[in-house]
């Protein structure tokens, strides 16, 4: 992605302001509060982008959906756009100001001689009539959605100061039926919005708990192949895999250390599910918990020093944490209801997503670790497997909707929830992959 130098500077409207500074004492009004509301942005369909025959993807529409789905943006439906400018000079700033749309995205999309597409887009400040940023991306036709996600990431980062996580991938397990009516388990890889799913592994036996390596190249998962729970690590690109834990009993719930050198998981090789850490290089095991109750679902903290897990040692499932090198676990979810499980750290370690059950409903909640403030985000009944987006802005999870199980993403403030586009069938255990390096 190459940056376009702003070709339009401040217009007369704002230049005139410099003359207004008076000599006399001016009272100062203090504004000590503000609001945290969605950032207004209008994304105008790119020139050439709406010609469906020529363009397989409506790039602007993808960007719009990404930004809107994040909960951080207040977008404008294309029907509500006052006009559809494609170049800076065509912008009627007052129209956008009236709508309170301080941010406007315009762009063009044109095929290149090599058969790719050249996408140019600008982010414009309508109140100051200036260009905030402008970029050009060249994308093969097949990757236009990805290009759109990358555009959304740019916009997101520019306006929120945080990296976007739209051009990332998710992995999940889909349960389909074969022609004979038997269940077929598929390990799926898809764009973060659920598009472009690819099957990495298909099995007649259940597949569970996919987990992304921090570099995004490998997936660890559990397979019940051979009627034995086995933890595999599979290279995404090549499909090569190896079993890393295949002992007797339970081998499940793998979780990568942030440096990618270790895997935490649940093993019952010693008679009772406990948390172990496997150092991949050299295959050394370390037992981290020792309790007659069930300890499972480990999650590594972003700093790599702690491992959170679910345990019912207190009578009901609650979240505990233990030092990455073992020690005395401490309970995290104290006084937060009878059921808190399946912890997942945000990228900054500030938040923890978990499944919170109360009155028979299992819902996704976010615990702010510093303040111990637990916020329930969803209001459905059977939510499971929350996984933070790598920028901490959203949480993907599985839920039961009107058409069966499905994947959903919710903004971390709970304001925006979107259902991911997945094919029909049962979907489980989504895992949000890391940011990609481009």
Binding site for other proteins (CB under 8 A): 14, 16-18, 20-22, 26-39, 72, 97, 100, 102, 125, 127-128, 158-162
Choice between 16 and 54, CB closer to other proteins = 16
- Report the nearest approach of other proteins to the CB of residue 168 (Å): 19
Choice between 19 and 79, CB closer to other proteins = 19
Q: What is the rounded distance in angstroms from the CA atom of residue 221 to the CA atom of residue 229?
A: 10
- Report the nearest approach of other proteins to the CB of residue 156 (Å): 9
Radius of gyration of the chain (CA): 24
- Report the nearest approach of other proteins to the CB of residue 41 (Å): 11
Is residue 395 within 8 A of residue 386, CB to CB? The reply is yes
- Report the nearest approach of other proteins to the CB of residue 346 (Å): 17
Choice between 33 and 437, CB closer to other proteins = 33
Q: What is the rounded distance in angstroms from the CA atom of residue 355 to the CA atom of residue 296?
A: 14
Is residue 429 within 8 A of residue 173, CB to CB? The reply is yes
| 25 SS3 class | coil
Is residue 130 within 8 A of residue 104, CB to CB? The reply is no
Q: Which residues contact 71 (CB under 8 A, 6 or more apart)?
A: 38, 393, 394, 410, 411, 412, 413, 414, 415, 416
Closest by CA position to 319, among listed 348, 345, 280: 345
Choice between 100 and 327, CB closer to other proteins = 100
Choice between 18 and 179, CB closer to other proteins = 18
Choice between 40 and 48, CB closer to other proteins = 40
- Report the nearest approach of other proteins to the CB of residue 102 (Å): 5
- Report the nearest approach of other proteins to the CB of residue 180 (Å): 52
Q: What is the SS3 string spanning 341-389?
A: EEEEECCCCCEEEEEEEECCEEEEEEEECCCCEEEECCCCCECEEEEEC
């Amino acid at each position: 992605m190459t940056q376009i130098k702003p070709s339009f500077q401040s217009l007369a409207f704002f230049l005139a302001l410099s003359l207004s500074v008076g000599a006399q004492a001016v009272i100062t009004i203090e504004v000590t509060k503000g609001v945290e509301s969605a950032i207004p942005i209008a994304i105008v369909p790119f020139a050439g982008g709406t010609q469906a025959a020529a363009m397989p993807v409506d790039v602007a529409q993808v960007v719009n959906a990404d930004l809107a789905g994040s909960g951080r943006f207040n977008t404008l439906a294309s029907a509500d756009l006052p006009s559809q400018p494609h170049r800076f000079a065509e912008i009627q700033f007052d129209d956008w100001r009236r709508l309170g749309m301080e941010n406007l995205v315009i762009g063009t999309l044109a095929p290149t001689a090599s058969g790719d597409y050249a996408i140019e887009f600008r982010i414009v400040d309508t109140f100051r009539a200036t260009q905030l940023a402008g970029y050009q991306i060249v994308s093969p036709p097949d990757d236009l959605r990805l290009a759109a996600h990358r555009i959304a990431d740019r916009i997101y980062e520019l306006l929120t100061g945080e990296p976007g996580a739209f051009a990332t991938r998710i992995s999940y397990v889909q349960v389909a039926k074969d022609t004979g009516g038997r269940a077929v388990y598929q390990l799926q890889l898809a764009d973060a919005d659920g598009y472009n799913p690819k099957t990495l592994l298909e099995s007649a036996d259940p597949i569970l708990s996919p987990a992304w390596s921090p570099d995004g190249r490998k997936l660890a998962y559990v397979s019940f192949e051979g009627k034995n729970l086995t933890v595999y690590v599979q290279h995404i690109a090549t499909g090569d895999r190896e079993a890393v834990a295949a002992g007797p009993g339970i081998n499940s719930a793998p979780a990568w250390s942030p440096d990618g050198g270790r895997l935490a998981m649940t093993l019952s090789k010693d008679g009772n599910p406990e948390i172990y850490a496997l150092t991949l290089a050299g295959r050394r095991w370390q037992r981290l918990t020792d309790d007659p109750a069930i300890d499972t679902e480990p999650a590594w903290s972003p700093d790599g020093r702690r491992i959170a897990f679910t345990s019912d040692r207190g009578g009901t499932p609650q979240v505990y944490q233990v030092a990455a090198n073992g020690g005395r676990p401490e309970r995290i979810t104290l006084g937060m209801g009878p059921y808190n499980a399946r912890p997942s750290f945000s990228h900054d370690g500030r938040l923890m997503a978990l499944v919170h059950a109360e009155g028979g409903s299992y819902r996704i909640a976010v615990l702010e670790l510093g303040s111990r403030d637990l916020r329930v985000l969803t209001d459905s009944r059977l939510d499971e497997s929350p996984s933070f987006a790598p920028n901490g802005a959203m949480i993907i999870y599985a839920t039961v909707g009107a058409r069966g199980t499905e994947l959903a993403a919710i903004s971390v403030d709970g304001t925006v929830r979107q259902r991911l586009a997945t094919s029909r069938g049962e979907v489980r255990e989504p895992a949000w992959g890391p940011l990609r390096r481009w």
